[in-house]
Amino acid sequence: MKIHLGRYVLGLAAILFGIFTFAWHAFFVLQQTQSLATLPHRAMLMYLIAAVEILAGLAIQWQKTARAGAIALAILFSLLAFTWIPSIIANPKVYYTWGAFFYPFSKAAGALILCATLGRGISQQLSKLAQFACISFALCLISFAIEQIEFFAHTAELVPKWIPGGQHFWAWATTFAFFLAAIALLCRRLDLLAAQLTTAMLIGFGVLIWLPVCFGNVHDTFNWSENLENLAIAGAAWIVADYLGQNRSARAAETLPGSAP
């Protein structure tokens, strides 16, 4: 039986998000919770969110509790995304708030696919939910590409100088890669390959950019939060790839001689 690793990566990222909050008390360094900075009793709320992330992240690691953990993460990440809606309405021309919405929304999309696919069978309604989540993730990829263009100088600056081709080349290359992956997912053409390459690219971001940056300055909580964000989105992309791969295997099995009509 093939092991799908995406859910374990997303669960690990959720656990680390929770630990990060408890360990550093850096409540609003994490982009996903910056919109809650003005709420009363915000520290208590941050600890509650961290506890849910840890418990749900642990639950998702075991088959019997995985669906419950996925549901909890889907609800949490969706709520965190929707907290940015008032800021978007107030300042629609400021892309930072749009980007801040799509970060947790991408993780919610991955968790929604798990909600739909974990269990004994997939009904027509659950299949539609998974397809909706794939489309939602594609829209998130478009947002990531737009954000890289919007903050292009910073994007290029993050590319390690030792990589052949130059910083600007790779900044543009990864931007177009996000766009092309989104188109593939939306058009359902080469969508599995697009999801797999997106996962590999995001993992590459973590290994080549965020881990060296974090260990270069271990006390910079912002860099660690960006590293965790990247890991969580890589987990969501991996879940999309797992789902599409599972669908392809199921279709291939249906075409085998002797399969049920």
- pLDDT, tens digit, for every residue of 175-220? 999 999 999 999 999 999 999 999 999 999 999 999 999 998 888 8
Contact residues for 146 (Cβ-Cβ < 8 A; gap 6+): 95, 98, 99
Give the pLDDT of residue 1.
Answer: 40
Q: Tokens for 25?
A: 């008390």
For 122, the token pair is: 């997939």
Q: Whole-angstrom Cα distance, residue 179 to residue 184?
A: 9
Residues of the chain predicted below pLDDT 70:
1-3, 26-35, 37, 120-122, 250-261
- DSSP 8-state class, residue 122: -
* Coil, strand or helix at 53: helix
Q: What's the token pair of residue 172?
A: 């543009």
Query: Tokens standing for 65?
Result: 């509790």
Residues with Cβ within 8 Å of 256's Cβ and at least 6 positions away in sequence, in order, are none
The runs of H, that is alpha helices, within 60-210 are 63-82, 85-90, 95-117, 124-150, 152-158, 167-187, 191-205
Closest by CA position to 59, among listed 67, 51, 69, 50: 69
In this prediction, residue 256 carries a pLDDT of 57
**Dist CA 243 CA 155 (whole Å):** 30
Nearest CA to 185 among 243, 235, 231, 234? Answer: 243
Left if phi > 0, otherwise alpha if psi is -120 to 50, otherwise beta: which for 258? left
